[in-house]
Amino acid sequence: MTVQVALPGRRIDQPVGIDLVVSYYTVMTVALVSGFGLLGFLAYWIRKACSNGSRYQYTALEPDSMGQERMELERKARQHAQNACKHYLRFCPRYALLQHLNDIGSRVDKHWFVVRDGSVKTERLLTLVPKNPKSVLECTPDTRRTILDLFLTLQHPYIYPVLDVEFVEGATDPETTFITLVLPFNSKGSLKDLIYKSCWHDDWSDKYGQRSEGLPLSQIQRLGRQILEALLFLKEKKFPHDCNLHSGNVILQNGVAR
């Protein structure tokens, strides 16, 4: 015969071990919560002590201040590039400056100008970009002739030609060297301009904000084939692979991708 003893708060048929299990998990839960609370308090105390012990107090710049500072830097860079372009044209009377274009590309240190080529009486696109300080390229007349000869060997219907190259010292900073390229002027813009139906000479930050509807499949096939043929030609000429190929660097001329 088994004798069952009724304890307060428990049914007569409930095992005694259940209370022990419940009590164990209750104690463990309280201990964990207390531990996390203690860790949080210590973290807060350490952070407060470090901030109070700091010698300087820093505050984030206001958005307006940051915007004004960025605009001022861009204005100075633009003026610096324009001075360098005028300095170059002063010693190269073949070209005459017509217009300093907006930032039509995403590269922040690149500038675009429309010039008039007096030898053929037509407009050209002149680009100007500072030489990378890490570049091992020597900006000498021999280097210029070598680069021009290289571009002359890249005559292909689907490769946009480079007409002239020059190294220009900064007008206000002689230590800065700009690389100048002269290209055919094209009023149709790039493949990216076609995709987004944007005006080629608008500012880059304003051109591609809207959603594009894309291009017809037949046009994609035709332009894609032309780009692939140009890449195969460069490979045959053992020209270094261009890792910066994108729709903004593909120029459209008379419906042809170059």
What tens digit of pLDDT does each residue of 36-93 get?
566 666 666 666 655 554 444 445 555 666 778 878 878 888 888 899 899 899 989 9
Residue 3's pLDDT is 43
Look at residue 24 and give its three-state secondary structure: helix
68-185 belongs to CATH 3.30.200.20: yes
Residue 55's pLDDT is 41
Residue 184 to residue 195: CA distance in whole angstroms? 22
Spatial contact of 127 and 149, defined as CB atoms under 8 Å apart:
no
Residue 57's pLDDT is 47
Spatial contact of 258 and 251, defined as CB atoms under 8 Å apart:
yes
For the record, the structure tokens of 68 come out as: 């004004």
Sequence spans of domains, the chain = 68-185, 188-257
For the record, the structure tokens of 255 come out as: 């419906």
**Side chain identity at 47, as an amino acid letter?**
R
Residue 17's pLDDT is 55
Strand (E) positions, 146-209? Answer: 164-169, 177-184
Residue 63 to residue 174: CA distance in whole angstroms? 34
Please state which of the ranges 64-68, 116-120, 133-137, 170-174 shows the lowest mean pLDDT.
170-174
Spatial contact of 181 and 111, defined as CB atoms under 8 Å apart:
no
Residue 39's pLDDT is 60
Q: Which residue has the tokens 């002269």?
A: 182
Q: Is the C-alpha dihedral spanning 74, 80, 83, 88 positive or negative?
A: negative
pTM equals: 0.70
Burial class (CB in 10 A: 0-12, 13-18, 19+), 235: exposed
Q: Of all residues in the chain, what percent carry a pLDDT higher than 90?
A: 47
Residue 87 to residue 126: CA distance in whole angstroms? 14
pLDDT tens digits for range 153-212: 899 999 999 999 999 887 666 678 999 999 999 988 999 999 999 999 999 889 998 888
Residue 56's pLDDT is 41
Residue 54's pLDDT is 45
Q: Which residue has the tokens 């710049």?
A: 61
Region 98-102 average pLDDT: 95
Residue 100's pLDDT is 95
Residue 221 to residue 60: CA distance in whole angstroms? 50
**Side chain identity at 92, as an amino acid letter?**
C
Beta carbons within 8 Å of 10's beta carbon, 6+ residues apart: 19
For the record, the structure tokens of 89 come out as: 């044209």
Average pLDDT in the chain:
81
Spatial contact of 186 and 170, defined as CB atoms under 8 Å apart:
no
Region 123-144 average pLDDT: 92
